[in-house]
Each structure stands twice: as structure tokens, then as C-alpha cells.
């Protein structure tokens, strides 16, 4: 469902420098919250009561992330160059999980439902990962002349991050709109769960 996203420009705070470009991988985690019920409709009602709070309502599931950076700003010839920018990205998917053993027919409905919900949330994760890679691409090699203390370079990086933060919000919003519209993937998953297939 709609991911709670932090503005990337805010998350671009400087951390201790690193000396070279490094390969990195995002860490993905799944957290669950308990729902109860023995039928699809009962489980869905429980999701409505216990799901993560997002905005003014509750969601079925939720994707969040934590992003920090290690950056190596190097003064060079009176200017400054960002020699390395290594992200530390953790993406967390929060999904519902039945608190009790389900009857076989309900279990089959649930398995189809939750598999589809997880695919949806991982779609948000893929968007986050793509934007972080774009941040890395515009960061490494960024150089500003007449900037011996690297303050102008840091400010220029912050300026360049604003459109990417906007892109992240827009892409997630568009993805949810498509997936949750009538006939969309999430809409069909919900109907399959509550209507028995």
C-alpha cells in the first residue's frame, strides 16, 4: 500500500568519509503484524482494524526504508570533488500474518492474497532502490570549483536531490493508484480474499 517515505534530501546528511567507490546491496526485511479470523472476510476486517497507520487510515501492508550515506568529499585544486558515495539502505516490508491456524480453504485464499500483497510491496522496494541508484549516480564525481571547504559541493548535491525525492513520491503514488484502482492487482487480491476466490 502507500509507502511512508522520507524526503531524500533530508536523509542526505553527511556521515564519515570513505575513500573509494564500493559495491553495496540493500538489506530487505519483512515484519508482520497479527490478524485474526477464520474466513477471508474476517481476516480482511482484522486488517482494517490492525493494519499499519498510513496517513489518515490503515493500510493492508506498508513499505518503509532507512537510508544513510558514507561520502568522501575531497578538496582538489581549490575546488571540491565528491569521490565516493556509498548508500546504506534498509527496506522494510510490513505485512499481515494470521495469528492462528487457518482452515484449509481459507489458508489457500490467504496464501494467494499475501503472495500478491508481498509482490506489490516489493514493487515499492524496487522503486526505492532505483531512486537510490540514481542518487549514487549523480553524487559520485560531482565537483565544484572554488570550494576548498566543500560547502558549495554539499549544497549542490542537496539541490540535485530535490527532484529525485519528488520522483520517488510520484512513482510510489502512481504505482499505488494503478495497483489499487478498480480491476488493479491489489483490488483483485482483496476481492479474491473476501469473496472466496
- pLDDT at 58 (0 to 100): 92
- pLDDT at 197 (0 to 100): 63
What is the rounded distance in angstroms from the CA atom of residue 175 to the CA atom of residue 169?
10
For residue 6, the Cα-to-chain-centroid distance in whole angstroms is: 9
Average the pLDDT over 93-110 and give the result.
97
The phi, psi pair for 92, rounded to 5°, reads -120, 125
- Helix (H) or strand (E) segment spanning residue 172: helix 151-180
Summarised one tens digit per residue, pLDDT across range 104-117 is 999 999 999 999 99
Q: How many CA atoms lie within 13 A of 11 on its CB side?
A: 18
Summarised one tens digit per residue, pLDDT across range 29-84 is 999 999 999 999 999 999 999 999 988 889 999 999 999 999 999 999 999 999 99
Q: In which band, very low, low, confident or very high, does the pLDDT at 13 lie, cut at 50, 70 and 90?
A: very low
**Measured between alpha carbons, how far is residue 53 from residues 20, 40, 49, 57 in Å?**
40, 21, 10, 6
Helix axes 104-139, 151-180, angle to 10 degrees: 150
Q: Give the burial string for 127-158 (b: 16+ CB within 10 Å, else e).
A: bbbebbebbbebbbebebeebeebeebbebbe
- Asked if pLDDT for residue 8 goes beyond 50, the answer is no
Average the pLDDT over 161-180 and give the result.
97
Cell of 62: 506498508
Amino acid at each position: 500500500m502507500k509507502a511512508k517515505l522520507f524526503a531524500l534530501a533530508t536523509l542526505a546528511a553527511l556521515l564519515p568519509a570513505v575513500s573509494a567507490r564500493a559495491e553495496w546491496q540493500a538489506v530487505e526485511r519483512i515484519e508482520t503484524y497479527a490478524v485474526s479470523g477464520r474466513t477471508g472476510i474476517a481476516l480482511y476486517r482484522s486488517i482494517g482494524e490492525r493494519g499499519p497507520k498510513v496517513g489518515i487510515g490503515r493500510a493492508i501492508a506498508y513499505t518503509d526504508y532507512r537510508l544513510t550515506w558514507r561520502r568522501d568529499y575531497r578538496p582538489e585544486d581549490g575546488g571540491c570533488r565528491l569521490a565516493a558515495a556509498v548508500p546504506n539502505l534498509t527496506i522494510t516490508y510490513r505485512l499481515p500474518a494470521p495469528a492462528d491456524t487457518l482452515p484449509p480453504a481459507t489458508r489457500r485464499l490467504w496464501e494467494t492474497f499475501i503472495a500478491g500483497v508481498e509482490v506489490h510491496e516489493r514493487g515499492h522496494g524496487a522503486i526505492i532502490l532505483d531512486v537510490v541508484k540514481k542518487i549514487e549516480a549523480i553524487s559520485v564525481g560531482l565537483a565544484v570549483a572554488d570550494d576548498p571547504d566543500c560547502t558549495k559541493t554539499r549544497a549542490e548535491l542537496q539541490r540535485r536531490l530535490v527532484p529525485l525525492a519528488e520522483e520517488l513520491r510520484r512513482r510510489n503514488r502512481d504505482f499505488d493508484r494503478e495497483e489499487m484502482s478498480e480491476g488493479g492487482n491489489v483490488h483483485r487480491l482483496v476481492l479474491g480474499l473476501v469473496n472466496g476466490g
